[in-house]
Amino acid sequence: MNKLLFLIIINIVISIYIDFIILTDDVFYSHFSEQYSYTRIGQMLEFRGKWLWVTYLITPVITFFKILIPASLVYLGFYLSNLKYPFSDVFKSCVIAEFVFLLPVLSKILWFEFVEPSFTLEEFNSFYPLSLFSLFDSSLLEKWFHYPFKALNVFEIGYWFALAGSLAFGLGQEFNQMLRIVVFYHGSFLVCWILFVVFISLSIY
């Protein structure tokens, strides 16, 4: 539970840093200046500032379910493979592996803080390092391509290996066996989820 609490705190701190240090009011004024008056933009920013705390409150819930879903899938894989381990042990391994997903967020902060401090909101939202999305001009891609191209990234693969390694180390199992379970059960869910999002996107766009 200490690792989970630490992960939640880091996520909240990163969110606060992005909201108040990276995404300044100037970024939003520049983005919306052609659509709205400065007064209207100021009202929007005031509303944003008033309700940002809600996102920090729901961060623990989002983090918990981000870990619960792969933990449940891996546990199902264990059950079907006749491997008997407490769910709590699987959950702990998933918490450790989840730290991998801090890397793309931290790299995003470092990029826009030091490498490209002058940026637009579109550039910030389109920045997905080491992903298939980063290899293309986002303006030339169909909207429904965006999510799957963002989801296909080095960090996702790194997460699979980190999770397999965490399970192997924590449970005393072979790494290759754990990797097979992770790829088959978690990977299958990810593919289904991407297809679902693409289907929804197609119906919208």
pLDDT 10s digits, 89-130: 999 999 999 999 999 999 999 999 999 988 999 999 999 999
| Tokens coding 108 | 């995003």
| Total number of domains in the chain | 1
Q: Residue 11: give the domain boundaries.
A: 2-204
Question: What pTM did the predictor assign?
Answer: 0.92
Q: What is the pLDDT of residue 205?
A: 67
Say if CB 160 and CB 182 are below 8 A apart.
Answer: yes
| Tokens coding 87 | 């769910």
Q: What is the pLDDT of residue 139?
A: 78
* Token pair 């509303």 in the structure block, residue: 47
CA angle 53, 48, 148 (to 5 degrees): 85
Q: Exposed, middle or buried by CB within 10 Å (0-12, 13-18, 19+), for 28?
A: middle
